[in-house]
Structure 1
Amino acid sequence: MKIVVIGGTGLIGSKVVGKLNDRGHEAVPAAPNTGVNTLTGEGLAAVLAGAEAVVDVTNSPSFEPSAVLDFFTTSTRNLLAAEQTAGVAHHLALSIVGIDDLPDNGYFRAKVAQEQLIKQGPVPYSIVRATQFFEFVKGIADTATEGDTVRVPPVLFQPMAAEDVAEAVCRAVVEGPLKGTIEVAGPELFRFDELIAKALRAWHDPRTVVPDPHARYFGSELAERSLVPDDGRARLAGTRFDDWLRRSS
Structure 2
Amino acid sequence: MKAFIAGGRGRVGSPLADNLEAQGIEVVSGGPEDGIDVISGKGLAEALVGVDTIVNVLNTPRFDAEGAISFFEGAINNLTAEGKRAGVRHHIVLSIVGVGEGAASEIGYYLGKVAQEKAARSSSISATIIRVTQFQSYIPVLIDQHTVEGKVLAPRTFIQPVDLGEVIRRGHRGPAPRIGSRRRSTSRRRWLCQCRASGHPRVGSRSPVVHGSDAQAAHPPS
TM-score by length of 2: 0.90
Residue 172 of structure 2 aligns with which residue? 170
What is the Cα deviation at residue 45 of structure 1? 1.1
Q: Secondary structure at the match of 1:62?
A: coil
Does the alignment pair 1:141 with 2:140?
no
Residue 98 of structure 1 aligns with which residue? 98
> Where in structure 2 are the equivalents of 1:210-249 lying within 5 Å?
210-212=210-212, 214-217=213-216
Residue 121 of structure 2 aligns with which residue? 119
What is the Cα deviation at residue 26 of structure 1? 0.6
Q: Report if the CA contact (8 A) 1:152-1:215 is conserved.
A: no
Alignment equivalent of 1:188, drawn from 172, 176, 183: 183
CA distance in 1, matches of 2:46, 2:157: 46
> Where in structure 2 are the equivalents of 1:6-45 lying within 5 Å?
6-45=6-45
Q: Secondary structure at the match of 2:138?
A: helix
CA distance in 1, matches of 2:168, 2:105: 27
Q: What CA deviation, in whole Å up to 9, does each residue of 1:1-28 have, x standing for no partner?
A: 0011110011100111110110111111
Moved more, 139-148 or 126-135: 139-148
Q: Percent identity?
A: 31
What is the Cα deviation at residue 218 of structure 1? 5.0
Q: What CA deviation, in whole Å up to 9, does each residue of 1:143-202 have, x standing for no partner?
A: 222212112134321001122222233122xxxxx6xx7010023222210000000001
> Where in structure 2 are the equivalents of 1:68-107 lying within 5 Å?
68-101=68-101, 102-107=104-109
CA distance in 2, matches of 1:159, 1:153: 14
Q: Report if the CA contact (8 A) 2:38-2:79 is conserved.
A: yes
Q: What CA deviation, in whole Å up to 9, does each residue of 1:56-101 have, x standing for no partner?
A: 0011143343222211111110111111111111100000011111
Q: Report if the CA contact (8 A) 1:9-1:31 is conserved.
A: yes
Match of 2:152, as an amino acid?
Answer: V
CA distance in 2, matches of 1:169, 1:40: 28
Residue 175 of structure 1 aligns with which residue? none
Q: Secondary structure at the match of 1:11?
A: coil
Residue 67 of structure 1 aligns with which residue? 67
In structure 2, list runs of 5 or more residues that go unmatched: 203-207
* Aligned CA-pair RMSD: 1.9
Q: Report if the CA contact (8 A) 2:5-2:56 is conserved.
A: yes
In structure 1, list runs of 5 or more residues that go unmatched: 173-177, 220-249
CA distance in 1, matches of 2:27, 2:56: 12
Q: Report if the CA contact (8 A) 1:99-1:112 is conserved.
A: yes
Match of 1:217, as an amino acid?
Answer: Q
TM-score by length of 1: 0.80
Q: What CA deviation, in whole Å up to 9, does each residue of 1:36-71 have, x standing for no partner?
A: 111111111111111110100011143343222211
Q: Secondary structure at the match of 1:99?
A: coil
